[in-house]
Structure 1
């Protein structure tokens, strides 16, 4: 075979591989984007938030899952929750866009109706190289809830600070709640916890989605203060929270850590690595 024939054969093989990669990548991103875009209405956002939150919380049928979940103690202490998904895209355009909801705990211990939020950058389409990351921000103070209830923008690290939240069970978790940051941030990429920084992230009240669902321009403060009754479309979300708050942790070993940006898990008591993201 001549050098030219070898070159042609190699080029043909490379072309087939590239086409397969593009087809597979486009299909994967199309599926992810379809799931993502369906959540732009409040009912879709509530359904998506329930699925996301369930992946961060312990499964009541498997109590041992509490060892690798947002702690029950953190959840019971929460004054509010912001749950959203971010798609970061490259190759064609670079940027990120996300949407989700925020809910607040009411004085009687129940949860408010959801208010839609979004974060964004450059617009995006079906692009190769998109990553999907799920976020749960636990609002630990009334100040944090007010930041979302005031309307307009909430800048993480600007208006209010956030720290990577603890995961697991035991006394170390309780100690972290003695003087918690206003917000604990949790993130998962490809199903694994990672301590991704939210510093500088801007979350925006989606007045359009709220108005469309609630039928009028209801401000976020009315939604989060309980003046708007919780809708049936958010019932699955409330069920997920209630189940996780009632999980039986008796008999479980004490194990608490904080995810780092690299996915390592640092023991919150000793600062040592407990196990890494690939090994759990």
Structure 2
């Protein structure tokens, strides 16, 4: 085969690969866009958040799923939860958009009505592809909840910091809760073509329009998260998922946890504390 023929063959293969890549990226973007559109209203956000949270928490019908889930102890100690989805796509320049909601635990142990949030932005870099990432941020302190209650913007890593949270069961999870002072634990599950999306520097914005449209008046986030608005029926599935995960029976499960170190890498610990 001549050099010219080799060049033509290589170019043809590259064209086929580029076409396949474009089709796959298009499917990813279209799928993510449908989810985002569904979630533009508060009822849609509540439905989407319930599905996302369900994928992060242990299934009571399969207790062993706790070994690869947000720990029960983390959930029980949470002062609030932010659940959202981000669609990111790029070709040299990149853009991202996402939406979700935040809820807070009230003094009586119940959960507040949800307040809608959104994020977006532009970036630059040698990144090609599309990715849909689901996030759960566990708000561990009243200061973290207050940051979302004040309205306006919350910058992750700014006024309130976040680190990767532990996964699994056992004493190592309890130790991480006791020794990690960060106000927020972050968890993510990514699907699609794009990897490595970080929350650092992400700005989450209160969606006053969505809250107003659903609650019928411009209710501020502090009133929604402070319990001054009754929890709506559309969020009942979300509350049920949390309640079921908090009531999970972990007796008989092996102690196995993935606890992040200072670099954010998860180390594996068993009942003897070995990694």
TM-score range, shorter chain: 0.7 to 0.9
Does the residue aligned with 1:75 lie in a helix, a strand or coil? helix
What's 2:109 paired with?
109
Give 1:1-280 correspondences, 5 Å limit.
Answer: 14-91=14-91, 93-122=93-122, 129-179=129-179, 180-190=181-191, 197-258=198-259, 265-267=266-268
- Give the direction of change, closer, same or farther, for the CA distance of 1:12–1:43 in structure 2 (3 Å limit): same
Give the Cα–Cα distance (whole angstroms) in 2 for the partners of residues 63 and 183 of structure 1.
25
C-alpha contact 2:32 2:87 (8 A) present in aligned 1: no
C-alpha contact 1:266 1:273 (8 A) present in aligned 2: no
Q: Which runs of 5+ in 2 are unaligned?
A: none
Give the Cα–Cα distance (whole angstroms) in 1 for the partners of residues 175 and 262 of structure 2.
22
Cα shift at 1:41 = 1.2
Deviation string 1:167-200 (CA, Å, 9 cap, x unpaired) is 1111121122225421111111139xx9964322
- Give the direction of change, closer, same or farther, for the CA distance of 1:249–1:204 in structure 2 (3 Å limit): same
Give the Cα–Cα distance (whole angstroms) in 2 for the partners of residues 260 and 54 of structure 1.
26
Q: Which runs of 5+ in 1 are unaligned?
A: 275-280
- Give the direction of change, closer, same or farther, for the CA distance of 1:12–1:258 in structure 2 (3 Å limit): same
C-alpha contact 1:197 1:261 (8 A) present in aligned 2: no
- Of 30-39 and 53-62, more deviation after overlay is shown by 30-39
- Give the direction of change, closer, same or farther, for the CA distance of 1:215–1:18 in structure 2 (3 Å limit): same
Does the residue aligned with 1:90 lie in a helix, a strand or coil? strand
C-alpha contact 1:46 1:101 (8 A) present in aligned 2: yes
Give the Cα–Cα distance (whole angstroms) in 2 for the partners of residues 245 and 100 of structure 1.
22
What's the TM-score once normalised by structure 1's chain length? 0.85
More strand by share: 2
Give the Cα–Cα distance (whole angstroms) in 2 for the partners of residues 273 and 16 of structure 1.
48
Give the Cα–Cα distance (whole angstroms) in 2 for the partners of residues 2 and 72 of structure 1.
64
C-alpha contact 2:29 2:87 (8 A) present in aligned 1: no
Cα shift at 1:29 = 2.1
What's the TM-score once normalised by structure 2's chain length? 0.86
- Give the direction of change, closer, same or farther, for the CA distance of 1:245–1:18 in structure 2 (3 Å limit): same
